[in-house]
Each structure stands twice: as C-alpha cells, then as structure tokens.
A and B are shown apart, each in its own frame.
Chain A
Amino acid sequence: MSDAALDIDRPDEEVEDISYLRAGHSLGSWFLTTDHKRIAILYLVSITFFFLIGGVAAALIRLDLLTPAGDLMTNEGYNRAFSLHGIIMVWFFLIPSIPNTIGNFIIPLMIGARDLAFPRLNLLSWYIYIVAGFITLAVVLGGGVDTGWTFYTPLSTMYANGMVVATVVAVFISGFSTILTGINFIVTIHKLRAPGMTWSRLPLFIWSHYAVSIIFVLATPVLAITLILVAAERLFGIGVFDPALGGDPLLFQHLFWFYSHPAVYIMVLPAMGVISELITSAAHKRIFGYWFVAIASIAIAVIGFLVWGHHMFVSGQSIYASAFFSFLSIAVAVPSAIKVYNWTATLYKGDIMIDAPLLFAMGFIGLFVAGGLTGLMLAMLAIDVHVHDTYFVVAHFHYIMVGGTVTAFFGALHYWWPKITGRLYNETLARIAAVVILVGFNLTFFPQFMLGYEGMPRRYHVYPPEFQLLQVFSSAGAALLAVGYAMPTFYLLWSLRRGPRAPANPWGATGLEWTTSSPPPKHNFTQQPVVVRGPYYYPLEHPASRANA
C-alpha cells in the first residue's frame, strides 16, 4: 500500500469499544455467534476448505489429461473427479464465495447497520451450509458420483453409478442456506440503512448484492424442486424425466438451467459489485455512470432468468425457442458491457494507486470480457451447434467463474483484509500473486478455447492424441495457477501475526466501512453514522484527496 495511505489523522479508537475479534475467545463465542463479521469468518474458513477439495479434484483432472490415454485414473474415476470438482466448486465455493464472506462482513458496515436484519438466521445459514458440506464430504469419501454437476436425466436417475441421491440431498440442503442469506440481505438493505443512506447513495457493492439476493430467493427453489424430482425418480421410479417411465428428459434440462443460468449471475454479480468498489477506491474517483452500473445489476438479474434455453440449442428444443433464447442472450450482454465501459471510464483522470486490488480488478475485467464475449459467440446459434459441449464451453465458463469470480474474490479479500483482520499484508507479494494468477489462468484456459473449436468434447477422459500438446499447456498453466492461489494463503496468514496494524482507512477510500476502526468494534460503529452525500465522493483537488475522504 502506498505510504500516503497510512497517514490517517483519525483519533485513536475509543478504548471501550473492543474489536469484534477480541470480543470473546471461547469456541462458543465463534460457533454460537450472531455477529455478521464472525459468521463471515466462519464462512471464509469453510469455503477455503472446499476450494481446496475442489482444487485437488481439478489437479487430479489436469494431471490425468497430460496423456491421451489418461493413465492416472480409470474412466469411471475420471468421471467422478470432474463431477465432484463441479459440484463442490459451484455449490460449496463459488455460490457462497463473495456474498457469504465479503458480503456478510461488509454489507452492514457499508450501509451503517449494526448487523444483518436477522443475525440468528445468518448463523443458521452457515450451519445449514455445513450440514450440506458434511454430506458432500461423506459422498467424496464414499466414492462420489459420476453424473457431472449437471445431473442430466435419465443418466442421473436411472443409469449413473455412485451416491446420486446423497449428493442431490446435499445440494438441496445447501440451497436453503442460500435462500436464507438472500432474504437476510434483502431485508437488511431495505430496512437497516443508516439515516441519509438513500437508494441513490448506496455503494454499487450493495446494489449488486441486492440483485443477487433476488436471484437467490427466486431461482434456488426451482433447483430444490428439480433435485427432489430426480431423487424421487431414482429412488421410487416415479416417471418424471425418463421416457421409459413416461417422462421427458428435456423437462429436466429446462428446470435445471432455469436455476443454473441465473446461478452464473449469482457468481458474477457480487464480483461486479466488488470491482466497482476496487476501481473507484484505486482511482479515488466517483464511479462513471452510477445509475447505469446500478441498474445494470438489476437488469442482469431480471434478463438472466430468461436465457436458460441457450444451454439447449442442440438438445432438440424448438428452433423458434432457440432463436428467442439466442436473442435474449445477446440482450443480457448489454448490461455487462455497460459495466465494463463505465469501469474503464472511471479510471480516466483518476488518481490511481496501482496496488494489488486494482491489479485483481483489471485482471477481472480482462478475463470477464474474454469470458463474456466468448459467451456471446456461444449465443450465436450456428457457432454453438459446433462448440456446444466442447472445451470451448469449458473455457468460457471458467473465464467467467474462475477468471471473473475467483479473481474478484481475491481482489475483495485483499482490499478488505485490513478491515477484516486489522492487519496490512505484504503489497509486493500481493502484486506478484495477482500477476501470477492472471498468467497462470490464461495459460490454463486459453488453450481450451482452441481445443474446443478443434472439436474436443468436454468430459473426455481418453482423448485423441492430436489434442495432447494443448492439454499439456493447460495442465502446466494449472500448476502455475495453483502457485498463484497458494501465495495469498501464506502472506495473508503471515500478516495476521506479523503484518503492520491497519489504520481505519488504509486506502483513503470513501464508504462507511472505512470510517470505523480496523477491525471494527463488535457493533460496527461507536456512533450511529449519518450519511450526507452520495457514494465515492472524492474531492477533485490533487493530491489531498487521498486520505481522510
């Protein structure tokens, strides 16, 4: 962090307000806490654990694909590895990643509230997530499933091996955690804003979490119903999806993608909220086009519900439905493009600190744009017929979910780390990690676009030898990416003990979360904050705009 950021002329914190980290040291003070900040830490530790498990599965996959014959695993073993990788990464890491850690911690601070609206419900969310997580771990230990994370019928209901019902139950249960979080965020944002925190003064991080909460609440029940039907067909032979029982396999795909396409926006909307904060803070400048960026989040959440059929262009659905979904998929790209252009315009005439959060943010924008535009290619019907279910799709959604969401997650973790822990991390190492992640990611996934266009289907354990060179590139990239992801684990943990103590506002950023001490007191603010102006207010004078904004 820059030196200028450190000279905060803030009086020492009132001694009676001990930080949330010091308010109780017993196990009970953590596992029975209703403090949103401690629950965020519980989530952070849990999702990191599942990220590790999902990452180990990914490592096995990439190792195995070094040779065309796949010498490391059997066909069945490979199928189980990629199924677990998908299931754990989607439902136990990506979906809770930013909302339940950063969102949980920062939302009440940003709007000047003491906690979320329903603190006990918040704790219940975490326990539900943990129960679902334990069932998933039991599935892993019990041998796993080979359905893929998509559970396509009638493969999942009639033909697949492994613990399909247990897996479906785990995902079903985790959905309730998501729904409760969504309700909590919506009510909090409506009811607990500080005096003067009008809707037009909300930070964009709040807008995007508001949008994602809508999806949480509206989409997740559909997944729950669908998974129950899968379990019912598998256990009791109730014909819903299997044509041999009078069912319709495409019905499953409609229901599944009605949830799972919005789920992509569940992963990316919070990331977009993070980027708006990171960019404005680094540039010390008001966001360009506040209302366009804010409404774009809502537009993405709404239109995102109407594009699910673009997963089904070659499934046998009506060609007119396909044309309709293709059109809407192009339309949903517009609000995303608006955000990218506005972030770029925000940098113009900024007062820019090129620190790790900005590097992560710029990495996000680059990777998200690449993922988004290849998504636009996939929305083109004739192109999709060729590249659907190939590595092109795999590369595309990893650019969005990993290049986008995970990069933003790391950016957020760095940006709010001083607030969360009260410590400063090593900026040099962080900048290096940001670059290593960016390079490693592209080396891993760019070759997969080429593999896909050349005709390599996804979920192939054994593959034709002409694809080996690109697969080796991809695996080498994955090794570099693993190093990039491991680095922050070390220097962030190191900073907990040895890092310099963080001032209240190390970045010279605006936003209520930076007006309280780092780490914040148990009840967030010593006095009820009152908001008198819009977000991202940085006086124009240079360089006095830095600290103390």
Chain B
Amino acid sequence: MSHRFFLWPEQASHHAGQVDLLIGAFGVMVWLLTLPVFVLMAFFAIRYRTSRDVNREHASSGNVWLEVSWSVIPFLLTLGFFVWATALYFNLRRPPADATTINVVAKQWMWKYQHGEGAREINDLHVPMGRPVKLVMISQDVIHSLYVPALRIKQDVLPGRYTTMWFTADKPGIYPLRCAEFCGTDHSVMGGRLIVMRQQDYADWMARNRDAGEDETLAASGARLFRSAGCSGCHGAASAVHAPPLEGLFGGPVGLSGGRTLIADEQYLHDSIMLPNKDVAAGYRPIMPTYGNVLKPEEVNALVAYLKDIGGGEPGTRQEDRDE
C-alpha cells in the first residue's frame, strides 16, 4: 500500500468503474439542482436587503405549479438513478454459476480464508484475475463486514448465517481489505490485502501451497471429518439409524416435517449441523445431536464442501429441480 495522498480510490474491477460513473453522474445532477438554490438565496438576500430601495411589488406567497414542478421533476430525475443503482446492486447480489467459491470466516480480529483446492490463508486473500470469485462468509463471534474499496463492495459477515459477495477483479495488484462493521477493541486493525494475480501466477501460487502440504481439497477434508466427527455413523449407507442419506441432497428440494419445502443450500446444511432441530426433514425423528459447540466454522465449511461434492450442483441449477 502506498503512502501517497490520493484523491480517488483505485478501480480494480469493471463494477468499480460503474459505481464511480454512477456517483459522478448523480453528482452532476445534484449540482444542477442545488446550485440555483444557493445562488438565488445569496442573490435574493443581497438584492432585497432592507437598505435597498428595489421593486417589491407583487411578491407572491405561493404557486401550486411551481410547487408541483420542484417536487416532481427532481423526484423523477432521481428515480432514473434509482433504477440504475438498483440494477447494479441486484447484479452484485447474484453470483454467476461458474464463480470460484472461497470460504471466509471472520473472527475478532482476523480474516480466515479456505480455498476449495485446499489452500488456507489469514488476512491476505489471493484471487485470480478475470475470473468471478464468490466469497461465502460467516462469522465466529460478532458482526464484521468485508470491505474492498478498490472493488467498491462490502458485505456484512454475520454469526450463524452465510452471506455471499462476488466480484471479478480485472487488474492485477495488491489492494487493501478492511473490516467495515465496528467489531470491538481492535476493529481498526482487522484488515488484510486482496492480492489479485494473473491466472498463471495464481495457479503457480496454488501449486506452491500444495507442495507446502496444503494438498487436501476442502471437500476431501470434509469427507475425512464426516467420518471422524461421527456423521457417517448415522448418515452412512451401512447405518442402522434412520437418518436421511446425504448423497444428491445439495441443491435439491427437501420436504420438512412441518410440511414446508426448502432448497438444500449452504445455509440449510450449516443449520442442520449446528441447529439440527430447526428444520427437520420429513419422515425423520429429531434425534440428531447439535454440533453447535463441537465444530468450528471452518470445519462446518469443510463438511458443507463435502456435501456439495456428493450432492448436485449449485442450488436450484439442476435440471430435475427445475422440472419439478
């Protein structure tokens, strides 16, 4: 990070440019609406000051058409910007299906990342350039917020609930990454760097991590955990316990004992492990013990990665789900 003074933050993505364009255009409109007010206010105050003998005849104290026009015209103009800003925001909240998923766990006062290929990082996050990256984030304690100014994006990171954020960085470089939601004593030093690498550099970096021992994919470590934490004892194929099989579960609909149906997404898998009595699958008794105090968020992420591996694709993307 440079120590130089700068007037405008760097743009590391197409989206960043879009946001700058939006605020620039909106700023121009705002000045066009405001400047006349400021100028007229000063002009009237000086021209009609009490010592001046000027024409004060026919001073009006109301005009409905004037009122309507200065209410409606700025409102309609602003609505145009509302549509633009909302479209950008919706796009920001809908990650493409082919995005690379990286898990983020926030805790007081650090960021932990788990790459699908197995690499783990703290505070500094390496991502490939030009490829959509989706961060699936959860907090271990209080609310945090992952903020990358160069991408013009942030997303709060909540305890007990996954939130996601996606981006495509298109300029290699090192950008600051900060916590934006006040999270206690060392909030201001809870930061790191987003390191955007050319795809070949990224692949090399990932290979170096593999050589250094991080050679087990997240799903594979989830599979190991699935046995060691005792999940397979009930959910395994050979189990005598009446527990739902988990193959093919992810991304498909699940009927619940209350009669509701939901899609088995990351949040559902997370809650079923941490709060098993929240949504019990139809036809099964609520006998699963809670792992709320047993597993760390990183371990739950690994289990979820494994369950995704043996399940379908992304939620709602499988053909048979759409047909149903």
Decide whether A and B assemble into one complex: yes
Residues of A within 8 A of B100 (CB): none
Q: Can you list 5 residue pairs at the A/B interface with Cβ under 8 Å?
A: A150-B182, A323-B86, A350-B44, A369-B38, A389-B145
Q: Which of A283-318 touch B at CB < 8 Å?
A: 283-292, 313-316
| Complex contact B56–A376 (CB within 8 A) | no
Q: In the bound complex, how far is the Cα of B159 from the Cα of A327, in angstroms?
A: 29
Q: Which residues of A contact B (CB under 8 A)?
A: 2, 4, 70, 75-76, 78-79, 146, 148, 150, 152, 154-155, 158-161, 242-244, 246, 249-250, 283-292, 313-316, 319, 322-323, 326-327, 330-331, 333-334, 337-338, 340-345, 347-354, 358, 362, 365-366, 369, 373, 376-377, 379-383, 385-386, 388-390, 450, 453-455, 457-466, 469, 540, 542-543, 546
By DSSP majority rule, is chain B's interface helix, strand, loop, or mixed? mixed
| Complex contact A285–B59 (CB within 8 A) | yes
| Complex contact A382–B70 (CB within 8 A) | no
**Contact (A462, B60) CB under 8 Å given A319-B90, A373-B30, A373-B34:** no
Q: How far is the CB of B127 from chain A (nearest CB, A)?
A: 18
Residues of B within 8 A of A366 (CB): 38, 41
Residues of A within 8 A of B4 (CB): 466
The chain B residue with its CB closest to the CB of A351 is B50
The 4 closest A-B pairs by CB, nearest first: A455-B149, A243-B160, A381-B89, A382-B88
Q: How far is the CB of B13 from chain A (nearest CB, A)?
A: 12
| Complex contact A288–B22 (CB within 8 A) | no
Interface size range of chain B in the complex: 35 or more
Residues of A within 8 A of B228 (CB): none
The chain A residue with its CB closest to the CB of B74 is A337
Q: Does B101 interact with chain A (Cβ within 8 Å)?
A: no
Partner of B49, one of A313, A315, A354, A388: A354
Residues of B within 8 A of A315 (CB): 156, 158
Q: In the bound complex, how far is the Cα of B1 from the Cα of A286, in angstroms?
A: 58
Q: Which of B1-25 touch A at CB < 8 Å?
A: 1-9, 18-19, 22-23
| Complex contact A385–B61 (CB within 8 A) | no
Partner of A334, one of B61, B71, B180: B71
The chain A residue with its CB closest to the CB of B191 is A464
Q: Does B45 interact with chain A (Cβ within 8 Å)?
A: yes
Q: In the bound complex, how far is the Cα of B149 from the Cα of A405, in angstroms?
A: 31
**Contact (A455, B159) CB under 8 Å given A350-B44, A377-B26, A386-B153:** no
| Complex contact B82–A380 (CB within 8 A) | yes
Q: Does B115 interact with chain A (Cβ within 8 Å)?
A: no
Q: Which of B143-185 touch A at CB < 8 Å?
A: 143, 145, 147, 149-150, 152-156, 158-161, 163, 176, 178-185
Q: How far is the CB of B62 from chain A (nearest CB, A)?
A: 5
If A242-B159, A349-B55 are given as contacts, then 20 extra A-B residue pairs at C-beta distance below 8 Å, sorted by A number, are: A75-B185, A75-B188, A76-B185, A79-B185, A155-B142, A243-B160, A283-B48, A286-B61, A291-B62, A338-B67, A347-B40, A349-B58, A352-B45, A369-B34, A377-B26, A380-B26, A386-B19, A388-B154, A459-B182, A464-B1
Residues of A within 8 A of B155 (CB): 314, 316, 385
| Complex contact A244–B159 (CB within 8 A) | yes
Q: Does B238 interact with chain A (Cβ within 8 Å)?
A: no
**Contact (A288, B62) CB under 8 Å given A155-B182, A347-B45, A366-B38:** yes
Q: In the bound complex, how far is the Cα of B158 from the Cα of A150, in angstroms?
A: 16
Q: Does B66 interact with chain A (Cβ within 8 Å)?
A: yes
Partner of A344, one of B8, B18, B37, B154: B37
Partner of A345, one of B1, B50, B66, B181: B66
| Complex contact B9–A453 (CB within 8 A) | yes
Which one of A381, A388, A469, A546 has the highest number of Cβ atoms from chain B below 10 Å of its Cβ? A381
Q: In the bound complex, how far is the Cα of B4 from the Cα of A454, in angstroms?
A: 13
| Complex contact A454–B152 (CB within 8 A) | no
Q: Does B275 interact with chain A (Cβ within 8 Å)?
A: yes
Q: Does B220 interact with chain A (Cβ within 8 Å)?
A: no
| Complex contact A463–B75 (CB within 8 A) | no
**Contact (A244, B292) CB under 8 Å given A314-B155, A316-B155, A455-B149:** yes
Q: In the bound complex, how far is the Cα of B49 from the Cα of A490, in angstroms?
A: 29
Q: In the bound complex, how far is the Cα of B44 from the Cα of A287, in angstroms?
A: 15
Partner of B5, one of A331, A351, A469, A546: A469
Q: Does B186 interact with chain A (Cβ within 8 Å)?
A: yes
Q: Does B235 interact with chain A (Cβ within 8 Å)?
A: no
Q: In the bound complex, how far is the Cα of B93 from the Cα of A383, in angstroms?
A: 14
Partner of B44, one of A249, A352, A455: A352
Q: Does B309 interact with chain A (Cβ within 8 Å)?
A: no
Q: How far is the CB of B50 from chain A (nearest CB, A)?
A: 5
Partner of A543, one of B34, B45, B50, B161: B50
Residues of A within 8 A of B66 (CB): 289, 341, 345
| Complex contact A330–B78 (CB within 8 A) | yes
| Complex contact B189–A331 (CB within 8 A) | no
Partner of B9, one of A161, A349, A455, A461: A455
| Complex contact A160–B78 (CB within 8 A) | no
| Complex contact B50–A322 (CB within 8 A) | no
| Complex contact A348–B62 (CB within 8 A) | no
Partner of B275, one of A246, A249, A287: A246
Q: In the bound complex, how far is the Cα of B83 from the Cα of A145, in angstroms?
A: 41
Which one of A284, A542, A546 has the highest number of Cβ atoms from chain B below 10 Å of its Cβ? A542
The chain B residue with its CB closest to the CB of A380 is B85
| Complex contact A464–B153 (CB within 8 A) | no
| Complex contact B44–A348 (CB within 8 A) | yes
Q: How far is the CB of A220 from chain B (nearest CB, A)?
A: 24
Q: In the bound complex, how far is the Cα of B109 from the Cα of A159, in angstroms?
A: 12
Q: In the bound complex, how far is the Cα of B89 from the Cα of A250, in angstroms?
A: 20
Residues of B within 8 A of A285 (CB): 59, 61
Q: Which of B253-306 touch A at CB < 8 Å?
A: 275, 292
| Complex contact A349–B89 (CB within 8 A) | no
The chain A residue with its CB closest to the CB of B5 is A469
Q: In the bound complex, how far is the Cα of B50 from the Cα of A259, in angstroms?
A: 44
1/0 contact trace for B29-47 toward A, CB 8 Å?
0100010011011101100
Q: Does B232 interact with chain A (Cβ within 8 Å)?
A: no
| Complex contact A348–B48 (CB within 8 A) | yes
Which one of A314, A347, A463 has the highest number of Cβ atoms from chain B below 10 Å of its Cβ? A314
Q: In the bound complex, how far is the Cα of B252 from the Cα of A26, in angstroms?
A: 79
Residues of A within 8 A of B180 (CB): 388-390, 457-458
The chain B residue with its CB closest to the CB of A349 is B59
**Contact (A159, B184) CB under 8 Å given A331-B75, A376-B30, A385-B92:** yes
| Complex contact A377–B89 (CB within 8 A) | no
Q: Does B241 interact with chain A (Cβ within 8 Å)?
A: no
Q: How far is the CB of B104 from chain A (nearest CB, A)?
A: 14
Q: Does B108 interact with chain A (Cβ within 8 Å)?
A: yes
Residues of A within 8 A of B40 (CB): 344, 347-348
| Complex contact A383–B59 (CB within 8 A) | no
Partner of B85, one of A79, A365, A382, A463: A382
Which one of A285, A382, A454, A540 has the highest number of Cβ atoms from chain B below 10 Å of its Cβ? A382
| Complex contact A348–B82 (CB within 8 A) | no
| Complex contact B9–A326 (CB within 8 A) | no
Q: In the bound complex, how far is the Cα of B6 from the Cα of A154, in angstroms?
A: 36
Residues of B within 8 A of A389 (CB): 145, 147, 154, 180-182
| Complex contact A385–B158 (CB within 8 A) | no
Q: Does B229 interact with chain A (Cβ within 8 Å)?
A: no
Q: Does B141 interact with chain A (Cβ within 8 Å)?
A: yes
| Complex contact A288–B61 (CB within 8 A) | yes
Q: In the bound complex, how far is the Cα of B90 from the Cα of A319, in angstroms?
A: 7
Q: Does B112 interact with chain A (Cβ within 8 Å)?
A: no
Q: In the bound complex, how far is the Cα of B1 from the Cα of A141, in angstroms?
A: 40
Q: In the bound complex, how far is the Cα of B63 from the Cα of A292, in angstroms?
A: 10
Q: In the bound complex, how far is the Cα of B50 from the Cα of A243, in angstroms?
A: 64
Residues of A within 8 A of B23 (CB): 377, 380, 383, 453
Residues of B within 8 A of A291 (CB): 62
**Contact (A326, B93) CB under 8 Å given A290-B61, A347-B44, A386-B154:** no
| Complex contact A75–B156 (CB within 8 A) | no
